[in-house]
Amino acid sequence: MSLFTESHHVSYNETLQKLSSYQQRSHEYQTLIYVLTGNDELVKKALPYLNDGGFSSDRCFKEQDFSRGTASLLKLAVHLYNANEDCTPLELVENLDSDSFQLAMNAVYLRKYGLN
């Protein structure tokens, strides 16, 4: 199973390198960064809310406007990161296009097994 396109992998690694070694090994952070760097809208609107202190999901959702599908994808990422958002499987099935759905399924896999 290929989790990354070449450009996604580059963006993922660049973002991961900005975090502490603990965060880099964390399945929670790996998953969050995987989703945030795997969608153009999230790269632009959500990635700036990530820093070495964590991800400011409340501020991100309050300050940014997302398409329905991207909002669902971000909710899943936050749920897998720290469970501060709820996201149902039906929401993913109904709101995500095929590329975003594959990204979501890969994120679930990554949260379980990590990249280590």
Q: Is the pTM of this model over 0.85?
A: yes
Q: How far apart are CA 71 and CA 52, in angstroms?
A: 23
Residue 83 region by backbone torsions, left for phi larger than 0, else alpha for psi between -120 and 50, else beta? left
Note the pLDDT of residue 116.
64
- Spans of all domains in the chain: 6-113
Note the pLDDT of residue 42.
98
Give the type of residue at 23: Q
Note the pLDDT of residue 53.
86
Give the type of residue at 51: N
| pLDDT tens across the length of the chain (116 residues) | 578 999 999 999 999 999 999 999 999 999 999 999 999 999 999 999 999 889 999 999 999 999 999 999 999 999 999 999 999 999 999 999 999 999 999 999 999 999 86
Q: How far apart are CA 96 and CA 102, in angstroms?
A: 9
